[in-house]
């Protein structure tokens, strides 16, 4: 069995990270949540006063990019890789709706993307990696052996994300979560640099009506076929 690269892209809250983690655990692969990296840059901008209500200071953020260092460290007890911003664990802080509200404009900045894509390519250079995001199959790993493009209806996605946030104890309404999901989809698909789109050779999976177990087994089989060189 050869080691492969698995790229999972798709709209917000489609369950990409859930299935990516399951696959990485099962295959003994490294899992990289590329969205966490864009979220951490957004948190950095918030912490440094670069974001006000409807505006962010793009020029200063670009100047300060050299001050941002990101890495993942696996928490063995939880069994997940957590993200560190300048050596501080920010895994929980980056998941708030506030970060979600600013992340897409920041992820549209080419200088930000260039820095993060280089780091992502470095993390996947030895294969044996599952990475999820928006441009993994199109830009980060265009030669990935397996590319999945995930989709589900906006209502279903907003419902899943709303329950996740409520479960964490965040005070949010379903309507604001739905608005954020739609707004991010719009910015992510229409930006100039690396817009979210299905790679020509990606396999599309709509999981609106699929349970987690079925979804996992479908994608695992696709991975096994490629690892065995059957496809």
Q: Does residue number 226 form part of the binding site for ligand CDP (CB under 6 A)?
A: no
Between 110 and 221, CB nearer to ligand CDP: 110
CB 176 within 8 A of CB 184: no
Which residue from 195, 85, 71, 202 is spatially nearest to 148, judged by alpha carbons?
202
Phi and psi dihedrals of 164, rounded to 5?
Answer: -60, -45
Q: Which residue has the tokens 């560190």?
A: 84
Token readout for 15 is 């369950």
Minimum CB separation of residue 215 from ligand CDP in Å reads 15
Binder of ligand CDP out of 24, 61, 103, 177 (CB under 6 A):
103
DSSP E strands: which ranges in the chain? 5-10, 30-33, 51-52, 55-56, 70-75, 80-85, 88-89, 129-133, 146-151, 203-206
Q: Does residue number 5 form part of the binding site for ligand CDP (CB under 6 A)?
A: no
Residue-level length of the chain: 231
Between 2 and 114, CB nearer to ligand CDP: 114
Stretch that binds ligand CDP, among 54-62, 103-111, 209-217, 220-228 (CB under 6 A): 103-111
Between 184 and 226, CB nearer to ligand CDP: 184
Q: Does residue number 39 form part of the binding site for ligand CDP (CB under 6 A)?
A: yes
Minimum CB separation of residue 127 from ligand CDP in Å reads 18
Which residue from 170, 42, 156, 185 is spatially nearest to 96, judged by alpha carbons?
170
Per-residue binding letters, 147-186, with ligand CDP (x by CB under 6 A)? -------------------------------------x--
Binder of ligand CDP out of 34, 138, 207, 215 (CB under 6 A):
34
User: What's the CA gap between 141 and 138, in Å, rounded?
Assistant: 7
Contact set with ligand CDP (CB under 6 A) = 12-13, 17, 34-35, 38-39, 103-104, 107, 133-136, 184, 188
């Amino acid at each position: 069995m050869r080691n492969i690269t698995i790229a999972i892209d798709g709209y917000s809250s489609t369950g990409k990270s859930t299935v990516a983690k399951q696959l990485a655990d099962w295959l003994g692969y490294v899992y990289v949540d590329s969205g966490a990296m864009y979220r951490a840059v957004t948190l950095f901008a918030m912490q440094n006063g670069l974001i006000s209500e409807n505006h962010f200071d793009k020029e200063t953020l670009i100047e300060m990019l050299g001050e941002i260092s990101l890495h993942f460290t696996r928490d063995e007890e939880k069994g997940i890789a957590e993200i560190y911003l300048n050596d501080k664990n920010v895994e929980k802080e980056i998941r708030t709706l506030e970060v979600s509200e600013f992340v897409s404009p920041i992820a549209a900045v080419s200088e930000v993307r260039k820095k993060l894509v280089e780091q992502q390519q470095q993390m996947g250079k030895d294969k044996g990696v599952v990475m999820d995001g928006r441009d993994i199959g199109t830009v980060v790993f265009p030669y990935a052996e397996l590319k999945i493009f995930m989709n589900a209806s906006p209502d279903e996605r907003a419902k899943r994300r709303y329950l996740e946030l409520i479960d964490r104890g965040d005070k949010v309404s379903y309507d604001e979560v739905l608005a954020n999901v739609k707004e991010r989809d719009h910015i992510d698909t229409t930006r100039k640099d690396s817009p979210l789109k299905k790679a020509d050779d990606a396999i599309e999976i709509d999981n609106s009506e699929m349970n987690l177990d079925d979804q996992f087994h479908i994608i695992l089989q696709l991975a096994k076929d490629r690892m065995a060189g059957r496809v």
